[in-house]
């Protein structure tokens, strides 16, 4: 039994990805997707390691309904200790972790061979350009190896990882990581619990506790409904792509955007506000037969986009321009797909209200997209119904442009397909949206493009800022925090009444 964690709101994508790629039986809840795969072969394991929406994949040690045990400390402790005493699942986890490690080591050799020269070439440049949080992350990763590595965080982090993954002995070492929420939080002494459970696992599994540099981590997540215990298959989250150095957007979200855009061979894919080109890189790494054109109004961003692309070592079919997303220098009807993380994150302020911004942005998109073009926008949940109305308005704007004779989008008399994606914990907004979509279809409006609005704005900030250790320790809670963290600042800043801050 495995389970994979995913950002809030993206579970359903992960579930269908696992269903598609592994043909496994799945069930999912609250950030976790469970799937069963007996007698897994190396090929399937590789497939698991290449899941795109997953944050981390765990071998499940225990997972049970906790609701009957939350009222008594004693009861709870008895239950969890019994659950963790069986030997079978540790043996399974042990074998799987070792197998995975072998695969990763062989893949890394392959990857290193390909990109080593590029990395070396860029190393010096990276050091100065690297953003603060990433540096922090790298530093934390190498904290144990002493100070002599500090000058080259990247290289030493890499070698440290290879070293620790390559030297798994017969006896794995582990440390505990317990996350507890809900009723039991106040009643339990986590430190003691961690000690007790650790001892119990040591007995049952034959692994050794090692606090400083363990091979693996045993993650326990306790809340009022469930207790889930698992061992992550990999030390690095799957969402950390080897081809993305400095991400502006979480890679799984970028992947979902590309996936929703249904990129076809020979498509011209544009991201008119590409930032560091995360979406384009994610797109190119997975759908190589398209042309990716990114532009951003900020030269600083386009420079890091170009660096990111160079660092990835991919010979990308694509280009980067400096251009205003609200005044795109592209020919009419030139793009098959437009992807955009439009609401931005904390770092970017738009010069007008969101309403005005989207009005002109959607008009531009409408002009540049081909007939039957697809557009996927990542937008804030609060704005989704407003944007939907504007999608309607941009339709009529398109017709106006058509009258002037400058562009001739073939207008077909279908209905617009709008879908809200990736929003599981805000039922209100999905209701409004569905209503909107229904009106859309009933109306006599003409379809020109397909729009898909994704509204899961989980901030990547938590991921960047959090150390790897913290991240390991809290695959779930962090993401929840991230959801709100990524959301509020944007909203606070851009609320129409306050106006944007300079």
Partner 1 sequence: MKLITHNMLTSNIIKGVTKGFPLIIAPTKVEVKEVDFNPDFVNKMLTKIDYPALYQAANSVGHGEGLPEQLGDDVKDNTDLLKALHNAMLQVEVIEGDLVCPESGRKFPIANGIPNMLLLENEVET
When the beta carbons of 230 and 283 are compared against partner 1, the nearer one is 283
Minimum distance of partner 1 from residue 362's CB (angstroms) = 17
Q: Is 321 in the site for partner 1 (CB under 8 A)?
A: yes
Burial 183-219 (b: 16+ CB within 10 A, else e): ebeeebeeeebbebbbebbeebbebebeeeebbbbbb
**Binder among 306, 417, 437, 445 for partner 1 (CB under 8 A):** 306
Minimum distance of partner 1 from residue 277's CB (angstroms) = 12
Q: Is 302 in the site for partner 1 (CB under 8 A)?
A: yes
**Binder among 322, 411, 437, 469 for partner 1 (CB under 8 A):** 322
Among 320, 372, 340, CA closest to 453: 340
The angle, 0 to 180 degrees and rounded to 10, between the axes of the packed helices 299-312 and 88-129 is 130
Minimum distance of partner 1 from residue 218's CB (angstroms) = 44
Q: Can you tell me the distance from the alpha carbon of 442 to that of 88, in angstroms, rounded to the nearest whole number?
A: 57
Kindly indicate which of the ranges 93-101, 177-185, 292-300, 410-418 contains the residues binding partner 1, using the contact rule CB under 8 A: 292-300
Footprint (CB under 8 A) of partner 1, residues 377-416: 406
Q: Is 293 in the site for partner 1 (CB under 8 A)?
A: yes
**Binder among 212, 315, 400, 442 for partner 1 (CB under 8 A):** 315
Minimum distance of partner 1 from residue 347's CB (angstroms) = 19
When the beta carbons of 314 and 424 are compared against partner 1, the nearer one is 314
Among 462, 454, 459, 455, CA closest to 483: 459
Minimum distance of partner 1 from residue 335's CB (angstroms) = 8
Q: Is 495 in the site for partner 1 (CB under 8 A)?
A: no
Minimum distance of partner 1 from residue 330's CB (angstroms) = 5
Q: Is 263 in the site for partner 1 (CB under 8 A)?
A: no
Q: Can you tell me the distance from the alpha carbon of 340 to that of 285, in angstroms, rounded to the nearest whole number?
A: 17
Q: Can you tell me the distance from the alpha carbon of 383 to that of 257, in angstroms, rounded to the nearest whole number?
A: 18
When the beta carbons of 109 and 289 are compared against partner 1, the nearer one is 289
Q: Can you tell me the distance from the alpha carbon of 491 to that of 487, in angstroms, rounded to the nearest whole number?
A: 6
Q: Is 171 in the site for partner 1 (CB under 8 A)?
A: no
**Residues near 29 by beta carbon (within 8 Å), at least 6 away in sequence:** 11, 226
Q: Tokens 């620790």 map to which residue?
A: 164
Total of chain residues touching partner 1, rule CB under 8 A: 29
* Main-chain dihedrals φ then ψ at residue 219, nearest 5 degrees: -100, 130
Footprint (CB under 8 A) of partner 1, residues 87-146: none
Minimum distance of partner 1 from residue 128's CB (angstroms) = 16
When the beta carbons of 401 and 424 are compared against partner 1, the nearer one is 401
- What 8-state DSSP symbol labels residue 211? S
Residue 166: how many CB atoms within 10 A of its CB? 12
Residues in the chain, overall count: 502
**Binder among 128, 167, 169, 299 for partner 1 (CB under 8 A):** 299
Minimum distance of partner 1 from residue 256's CB (angstroms) = 24
CA-to-CA separations, 252 to 238, 302, 435, in angstroms, rounded? 9, 22, 28
Minimum distance of partner 1 from residue 358's CB (angstroms) = 18
Q: Is 339 in the site for partner 1 (CB under 8 A)?
A: no
**Binder among 18, 104, 328, 476 for partner 1 (CB under 8 A):** 328
Kindly indicate which of the ranges 21-29, 115-123, 126-134, 285-293 contains the residues binding partner 1, using the contact rule CB under 8 A: 285-293
Burial 475-498 (b: 16+ CB within 10 A, else e): bbbbbbbbbebbbeebeebbeeee
Helix (H, G, I), strand (E, B) or coil at 28: strand
Q: Are 437 and 418 in contact (CB under 8 A)?
A: yes
Bridge partners, residue 421, by sequence? 454
Helix (H, G, I), strand (E, B) or coil at 322: strand
Q: Is 317 in the site for partner 1 (CB under 8 A)?
A: yes
Q: Is 330 in the site for partner 1 (CB under 8 A)?
A: yes
Q: Is 243 in the site for partner 1 (CB under 8 A)?
A: no
Residues that bind partner 1 (CB under 8 A): 265-266, 268, 289, 291, 293, 295, 297, 299, 302-303, 306, 315, 317, 319-324, 327-331, 334-336, 406
């Amino acid at each position: 039994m495995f389970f994979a964690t995913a950002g809030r709101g993206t579970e359903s994508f992960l579930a269908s990805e696992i269903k598609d790629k592994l043909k496994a039986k799945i069930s999912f809840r609250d950030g976790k997707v469970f799937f069963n795969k007996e007698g897994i072969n190396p090929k399937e394991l590789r497939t698991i390691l290449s899941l795109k929406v997953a944050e981390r994949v765990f071998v499940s040690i225990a997972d049970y309904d906790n609701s009957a045990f939350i009222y008594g400390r004693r009861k709870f402790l008895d239950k969890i200790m019994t659950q963790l005493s069986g030997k079978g699942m540790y043996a399974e986890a042990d074998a799987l972790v070792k197998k995975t490690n072998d695969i990763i080591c062989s893949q890394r050799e392959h990857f290193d061979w390909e990109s080593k020269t590029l990395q070396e070439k860029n190393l010096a440049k990276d050091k100065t350009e690297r953003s603060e949080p990433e540096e922090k992350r790298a530093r934390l990763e190498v904290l144990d190896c002493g100070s002599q590595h500090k000058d080259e965080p990247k290289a030493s982090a890499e070698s440290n990882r290879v070293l620790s993954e390559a030297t798994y002995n017969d006896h794995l070492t582990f440390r505990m990581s317990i996350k507890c929420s809900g009723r039991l939080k106040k009643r339990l002494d986590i430190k003691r619990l961690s000690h007790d459970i650790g001892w119990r696992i040591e007995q049952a599994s034959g692994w050794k506790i090692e606090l400083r540099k363990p091979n693996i981590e045993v993650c326990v997540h306790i809340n009022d409904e469930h207790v889930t215990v698992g061992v992550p298959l990999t030390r690095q989250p799957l969402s950390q792509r080897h081809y993305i150095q400095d991400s502006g957007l979480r890679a799984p979200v970028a992947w979902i955007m590309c996936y929703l855009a249904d990129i076809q061979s020979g498509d011209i894919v544009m991201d008119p506000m590409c930032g560091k080109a995360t979406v384009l890189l994610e797109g190119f790494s997975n759908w190589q037969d398209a042309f990716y054109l990114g532009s951003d109004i900020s030269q600083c961003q386009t420079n890091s986009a170009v660096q990111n692309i160079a660092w990835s070592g991919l010979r990308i079919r694509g280009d980067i321009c400096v251009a205003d997303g609200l005044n795109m220098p592209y020919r009419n009807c030139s793009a098959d797909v437009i992807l955009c993380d439009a609401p931005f994150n904390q770092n970017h302020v738009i010069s007008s209200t969101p309403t005005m911004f989207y009005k002109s942005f959607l008009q531009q998109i409408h002009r540049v997209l081909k007939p039957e073009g697809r557009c996927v926008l990542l937008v804030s949940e609060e704005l989704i119904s407003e944007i939907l109305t504007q999608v309607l308005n941009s339709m009529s704007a398109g017709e106006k442009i058509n009258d002037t004779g400058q562009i001739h989008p073939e207008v077909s008399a279908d209905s617009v397909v709008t879908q809200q994606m990736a929003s599981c914990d805000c039922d209100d907004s999905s209701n409004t949206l569905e209503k909107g979509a229904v009106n859309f279809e009933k109306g006599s409006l003409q379809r020109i493009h397909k729009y898909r609005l994704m509204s899961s704005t989980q901030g990547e900030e938590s991921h960047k800022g959090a150390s790897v250790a913290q991240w390991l320790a809290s695959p779930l809670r962090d993401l929840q925090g991230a959801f709100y963290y990524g959301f509020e600042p944007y909203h606070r800043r851009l609320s129409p009444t306050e106006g944007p801050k300079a």
